[in-house]
Structure 1
Amino acid sequence: MSDIIQNQPIAAIATPVGEGGIAVIRVSGRESIKKVNACFRGKDLTDADSHTVHFGKIIKKDGRVVDEVLATIFRSPRSYTGEETVEISCHGGVLVTQAVLETILEQNVRAAEPGEFTQRAFLNGKLDLEQAEAVADLIHAKSIKAVDAAHQQLEGKLGEHIKTFRQQIIDATAMVELELDFIEEDVEFANKDQLRKLLLDVEQEINTLLETYETGRLVKDGVRTVFIGRPNAGKSTLLNTLVGSERAIVTEIAGTTRDTIDADWSYDGLLFKLIDTAGLRDTEDVIEAEGVKRSQKAFEQADLVVYLKDLSLPMDSSEREEIAAFQKRAGETPFLLVGTKLDLELPSEEERIHFDLKISSVDNTNIDRLKKQMKQRALESKDYDTSSLLVTSSRHRDALQKARENVQRAIQALDRGMTGDFLSIDLRAALKELGAITGEITNEHLLDSIFSRFCIGK
């Protein structure tokens, strides 16, 4: 995206393409107001004040009217991108919106690439890099908690916190390197004890942030919840009950579900990615066997496992062993053992296995309790507070981990009495990783990777 630096005018449809009351085309860059004014009939937009709206018509070069529009003027630097910007509100609809955009592009304006408006906002100092990433997170958020986390990052709280202890490392590095300039005079600018304490404090700050990542990941991406159990245990029925639609096919025939079926479900602000799996059993059916294999893989990747047992069937020793094996294999992954078809439950003998809950999807018995238990188990070892900082990006996690490693090496160098030049190398490496989070240190490949996941027009 080298053209960004040259401030070349770009344009894109900023609203979802389709039928609707209004669509918005965004134009940004050098002489954007002049470019739009060339195909706008109404007030002279080049004389318009910033943050004003003007009624007019978009006109083709041959004089044909494309649409009646409202043009909103944003003069630099008081715009989202920091550049001259015009937002054109036209009638919604695929054809008319595209016609307005094409008319704008005819004025020597280039079609924007995905995320290019936000990338320009970052390059022009309107947003830090982690704030720019939060824009995409906010757009793609599928739960209230994900929206809260994105808003927190968009406000720049994470970046401000990282910049604070990054500045401490900068100051310490300056003192260490200043000593190197006066090494022959044997002058000490950096108190080693104070430096060690500072680095230990920074290490703890990084550890605290990294501890929030698992919670942040679940909040952002959703809790990968896998329903497993034997055929006809009620897995598909439960999925349909939770999402409120017939997402999975339900029949009395064992082995109906041949592949994993995914569905998004939001409860109490948290997104769950529900996965219905093929019933667990030995089978000579090649397709069903592949389904069972995929069920096992889904289990291994789960954030929450819900094993369903049909209460209308007696539990034999092999099923007890199967449940125990899955509980053991789950390890630290939260595991719920749920009895299904409570409405058909057989008179039971003394139970030799403990159920977390017994439900009926037919009459909704204990379904609300199950929902609460699913959320509780998913976050049982994770403390989520909307007022606390959350690391939700794997890129941020990786950078923090590398920064911590460099800080730890610097502490070890101090303890071993190594010279300042070795210490400086580790400190500068830590600064580089922390700067990559906020965008103080970037490269073109990193920016392209981040902004390529944005939608066009943002």
Structure 2
Amino acid sequence: MNDTKKNNSIIQKSAIAAIATPVGEGGIAVIRVSGKDAISLVNKAFQGRDLTSLDSHTVHFGKIIDKNKLPVDEVLVTLFHSPRSYTGEETVEISCHGGVLVTQKVLETILSLGVKAAEAGEFTQRAFLNGKLDLDQAEAVADIIHAKSIKAVDAAHQQLEGKLGDYVRTFRQQIIDATAMIELELDFIEEDVEFANKEQLQKLLEDVDAELTNLLDTYETGRLVKDGVKTVLIGRPNAGKSTLLNTLVGSDRAIVTEIAGTTRDTIDVDWNFDGLLFKLIDTAGLRETEDLVEAEGVKRSQKAFEQADLVIYLKDLSQAFTEDERKEIAAFQKRAGETPFILIGTKADIEADREWRTEFDLKISAVEEENIKALKTLLKNRALENKHYDASSLLVTSSRHRDALQKTKEHIQAALTGLENGLTGDFLSIDLRAALNELGTVTGEITNEHILDSIFSRFCIGK
């Protein structure tokens, strides 16, 4: 691994360009150009003031002209001098009229000047390499772009503001100090001089271990906030699964008929409630069937159940409970384990007049929208039950960060075990340095090309 962060030194790579806004019909489109001589290169195709003589953070009206001096479009050009730009390099942002053809023509004109087409995430990667962003902040940029809920945006903004990086750096510095004391002691081993107080070192490592545990405990909540709550609707045919899905999302996304077995495959729909994303999965009705297509749908329903973050079992209240159905519900509850399981009675508007031995979490009518509001609140509460979360919560949302923090914790615990067993400083130092490397991969103090390629491949071309 190599330390790829650059301090106080801006690298001006060859100029790159890309469309930075969604391609399509719109009022304005933005084309970003960044890199060595970006301003002077754009100036060759700009009809207006001399861009090379103008101040940073200024906007100028003019025209982009092609190699034959013919106008391509009227534009506004915004200048950012190095290092006061997103990438740290010379940067130009060209605002032209929105539209697929005109935007592409402006980009082609810029590329014809010797500017290279940007790769996915290349602007943000350059920002990281030039020290404008930590690696965790760069990842947060992608998370904001791909966020599908307000809570996911909030979590990404916290990371973009550097809160995770600051938190990680605090106890990384503690480990650095401890390692320095141990290794300094090794230099004076012949003089039998001790620089590291073993009790203080143990206390420090125990504190770091506890902080890592607290941070890792936020991952499950962070995953749900970022990726959404995979919510599976299961039950017997005609229990009202598709009707409930349509009611929650406010549109007819699933086909609803009185014919049992209408849903043959799982249907996935994104639904937001109170800032949290739910990935609703309507499944085929659970029953024995000789229909090969329906049987495959039931098989997929079982698989969706196994991967769920939240399970909703729907029971048709207009139909009597059978003993098989009671056993089925009990079996699903047991199989759900720690996954929240909600038992909902449906068709409450036509509920038969009978005593139920089973305790329902809620009885609803999707058609009449009876108790639907209460159901929505119940879903959110159960999805986040036993998970501390508020708008100010620092969450680990990335599996990469989770893995690095888990490995750090393992090295810290190994060092604690070694300390208790009386291992010498040279052995303790091995685990502490390994812990430092793992923590460094979170913020980017330590990284490699493989990690960077994996991270920035998630980005869109213009970011």
Q: Same fold (TM over 0.5)?
A: yes
Q: Distance in 1 between matches of 2:459 and 2:243?
A: 36
SS of match in other structure, 1:71: strand
Q: Distance in 2 between matches of 1:252 and 1:35?
A: 66
1:452 matches 2:457: yes
1:200 matches 2:206: yes
Q: Report the equivalent of 1:426.
A: 431
Correspondences of 1:127-166 after superposition (within 5 Å): 127-166=133-172
Q: Report the equivalent of 1:259.
A: 265
1:171 matches 2:177: yes
SS of match in other structure, 2:441: helix
Q: Report the equivalent of 2:131.
A: 125
Can you list the C-alpha shifts for 1:372-431, whole angstroms capped at 9, x where unaligned? 000000001101022121100000000000000000000001001011110000000000
Q: Distance in 1 between matches of 2:359 and 2:46?
A: 72
Correspondences of 1:41-440 after superposition (within 5 Å): 41-348=47-354, 350-440=355-445
Structure 1 spans left out of the alignment, 5+ residues: none
- What is the number of equivalent residue pairs in this alignment? 455
> Are 2:12 and 2:89, in contact at CA under 8 Å, matched by a contact in 1?
no
Superposition deviation, residue 63 in structure 1: 1.2
SS of match in other structure, 1:280: coil
Superposition deviation, residue 321 in structure 1: 0.6
Amino acid at match of 2:343: L
Q: Report the equivalent of 1:441.
A: 446
Q: Distance in 2 between matches of 1:319 and 1:164?
A: 55
Can you list the C-alpha shifts for 1:188-216, whole angstroms capped at 9, x where unaligned? 11111100000000000100000000000
Amino acid at match of 1:45: L
> Are 2:11 and 2:130, in contact at CA under 8 Å, matched by a contact in 1?
no
Q: Distance in 1 between matches of 2:11 and 2:454?
A: 17
Amino acid at match of 1:195: L
Superposition deviation, residue 6 in structure 1: 6.0
Amino acid at match of 1:449: S
Q: Distance in 1 between matches of 2:424 and 2:461?
A: 51
Q: Distance in 2 between matches of 1:172 and 1:37?
A: 54
TM-score by length of 1: 0.98
> Are 2:152 and 2:226, in contact at CA under 8 Å, matched by a contact in 1?
yes
Can you list the C-alpha shifts for 1:216-241, whole angstroms capped at 9, x where unaligned? 00000000000000011110111111
Q: Distance in 1 between matches of 2:189 and 2:108?
A: 66
> Are 2:212 and 2:409, in contact at CA under 8 Å, matched by a contact in 1?
yes
Superposition deviation, residue 273 in structure 1: 0.3
Q: Distance in 2 between matches of 1:133 and 1:251?
A: 45
CA RMSD of superposed structures (Å): 1.0
Q: Distance in 2 between matches of 1:408 and 1:455?
A: 39
SS of match in other structure, 1:231: coil
SS of match in other structure, 1:373: helix
Structure 2 spans left out of the alignment, 5+ residues: 5-9
Larger mean CA deviation between 50-59 and 176-185 belongs to 176-185
Q: Distance in 2 between matches of 1:337 and 1:257?
A: 20
SS of match in other structure, 1:50: coil
Q: Distance in 1 between matches of 2:445 and 2:414?
A: 23
Amino acid at match of 2:43: N
Amino acid at match of 2:420: D
Q: Distance in 2 between matches of 1:386 and 1:246?
A: 33
Amino acid at match of 1:64: L
Superposition deviation, residue 181 in structure 1: 1.1
Superposition deviation, residue 5 in structure 1: 6.0
Which of 8, 25, 36 in structure 1 is aligned with 2:14?
Answer: 8
Q: Distance in 1 between matches of 2:251 and 2:439?
A: 45
Identity %: 78
Superposition deviation, residue 162 in structure 1: 0.5
Amino acid at match of 2:414: R
Amino acid at match of 1:453: R
Can you list the C-alpha shifts for 1:142-181, whole angstroms capped at 9, x where unaligned? 1111111001000000100100100010011011111111
Instruction: Spell out structure 1 runs of 4+ moving beyond 6 A.
Output: none
Q: Distance in 2 between matches of 1:109 and 1:362?
A: 59
Q: Distance in 2 between matches of 1:239 and 1:217?
A: 23
SS of match in other structure, 1:450: helix
SS of match in other structure, 1:72: strand
Q: Distance in 1 between matches of 2:31 and 2:14?
A: 17
Amino acid at match of 2:252: E
Larger mean CA deviation between 242-251 and 5-14 belongs to 5-14
Q: Distance in 1 between matches of 2:201 and 2:126?
A: 38
